[in-house]
Amino acid sequence: MTAQHPPDEILLGFTRALRAAGVRVTQDRATSFLTASAIVGLHDPEAVYVAGRATLCSGPDALERYDRVFEAWFGDRSELPRTIPRERREDVAAPLPVSDDPGENGGEGEQDVVRAAASEAEILRHRDVAELDAAQKAILDAMIRALHPRAPLRRAARHTPWRRGEVDLQRTLRGSLQLMGEPGQVRRRRRGTEPRRVVLLVDVSASMRPYADALLRLTHTLVRTGAPVEVFTLGTRLTRITTALRTADPDRALVRAGDEVPDWAGGTRLGETLEAFLDRWGARGMARGAVVVVFSDGWERGDAALLGGQMARLGRLAHRVVWVNPHRGKDGYEPVQQGIVAVLPHCDDFIAGHSLRSFEQVLEVVASA
């Protein structure tokens, strides 16, 4: 720590650096951090480190980042710029889905442009996402955004009043009490419903690259329904991106998710990452009774036996396991790769995921699970 900066500034600068690194540090947390540091004493870096971990972090993901930033901020700062990072606000405007450059057919009436876009949209529904150019992708993005997924439902423990079903003794009696004991209307009830949890696991390895963007947009629409939805990316490691995808604007959400994922377009170790998911999250309840959707082509570099074993575990935990494979929709596709062969016995559904049409089917399968 340098002498020319007062300690408050250095500590607050650290919280800003932490925020810039993606840890959500609110004002009250920063204040708690200052209080805690003052209590343990600023002369003791070890204690300040602990105080910061306790007040600024809220989970293992944040802890990892915290360690990195702490090291950079309070460690050897010789090569670091000594400026305090500014608050970063990325305002990414959502681009309007325009199919063609308007200058190109400037003479034509607006009607034609709309009609052209409409017919193109219909064709796009069936086109393979991987083969689209930039302009078509923009339309597709808007179309994905316009999807309205429904969350699957499960039976809840509580009863709700209903027209038919079993007799609700309590409400019937209460009703007749209001009539001074005269028999009144017979009330009925049934078990209510609650949204069932959906867990989405998106393979972001190199072989899935052409589809990753569209698939993440699809998961974004599901997250935005407000139902209990969790999203993870698989590749060489497991990353939870649910929080990032809660951002309303899809483009900003994807940028945030991209910041989180360290193994973008890397290798595939499905078995190991699936194991990590089951160990860290799944077995503790996240996958229990949930609808789990895996978006992957099943190209496994690692041990296919491990993958099969982990899928069996997942199958036992989850209410329904849906495997979405982009190649499934292509002509002449046969599920013969080692990974897919190991996986298939443990899946309830094995469906295509290469075009908007197939995405709609995926949402349908999830909603009716």
| Residue ranges that bind other proteins, judged by CB under 8 A | 24, 26, 28-29, 32, 35-36, 39-40, 46-47, 50-51, 53-55, 57-60, 63, 157, 242, 275, 279-281, 283-286, 313
Contact 145, 250 (CB under 8 A): yes
DSSP annotation of 193: E
The residues, any chain, with a CB within 8 Å of residue 200's CB and separated by 6 or more, are 219, 222, 229, 230, 231, 232, 292, 293, 295
**What is the closest distance, in whole angstroms, from the C-beta atom of residue 262 to other proteins in the complex?**
20
Q: Please, what is the Cα angle at 244 between 197 and 352, to 5 degrees?
A: 55
Task: Please say which residue, 58 or 193, places its beta carbon nearer to other proteins.
Answer: 58
Task: Please say which residue, 315 or 329, places its beta carbon nearer to other proteins.
Answer: 315
**What is the closest distance, in whole angstroms, from the C-beta atom of residue 170 to other proteins in the complex?**
15
DSSP 266-302: ----HHHHHHHHHHHTGGGTTSTT-EEEEE-----SS
Element (H, E) at 310: helix 304-317
Task: Please say which residue, 34 or 206, places its beta carbon nearer to other proteins.
Answer: 34
**What is the closest distance, in whole angstroms, from the C-beta atom of residue 356 to other proteins in the complex?**
31
**What is the closest distance, in whole angstroms, from the C-beta atom of residue 342 to other proteins in the complex?**
16
For β-strands 188-195 and 166-167, DSSP reports them as antiparallel
**What is the closest distance, in whole angstroms, from the C-beta atom of residue 231 to other proteins in the complex?**
12
User: With 0-12 CB in 10 A as exposed, 13-18 as middle and 19+ as buried, what is 32?
Assistant: middle
Element (H, E) at 343: helix 338-343
Mark residue 65 as left, alpha or beta (left: phi above 0; alpha: psi -120 to 50; beta: remaining).
alpha
**What is the closest distance, in whole angstroms, from the C-beta atom of residue 367 to other proteins in the complex?**
22
Task: Please say which residue, 24 or 77, places its beta carbon nearer to other proteins.
Answer: 24
Task: Please say which residue, 40 or 135, places its beta carbon nearer to other proteins.
Answer: 40
Whole-angstrom CA distances from 102 to 98, 109, 110, 156, 207 are 8, 11, 10, 53, 35
Task: Please say which residue, 203 or 230, places its beta carbon nearer to other proteins.
Answer: 230
CA nearest to 273, candidates 245, 306, 305: 306
Task: Please say which residue, 24 or 209, places its beta carbon nearer to other proteins.
Answer: 24
**What is the closest distance, in whole angstroms, from the C-beta atom of residue 280 to other proteins in the complex?**
8
Distance in angstroms (rounded) separating the CA atoms of residues 307 and 299: 11
Task: Please say which residue, 297 or 300, places its beta carbon nearer to other proteins.
Answer: 300
Distance in angstroms (rounded) separating the CA atoms of residues 142 and 221: 11
**What is the closest distance, in whole angstroms, from the C-beta atom of residue 143 to other proteins in the complex?**
31
Distance in angstroms (rounded) separating the CA atoms of residues 304 and 288: 24
Task: Please say which residue, 95 or 289, places its beta carbon nearer to other proteins.
Answer: 289
**What is the closest distance, in whole angstroms, from the C-beta atom of residue 366 to other proteins in the complex?**
20
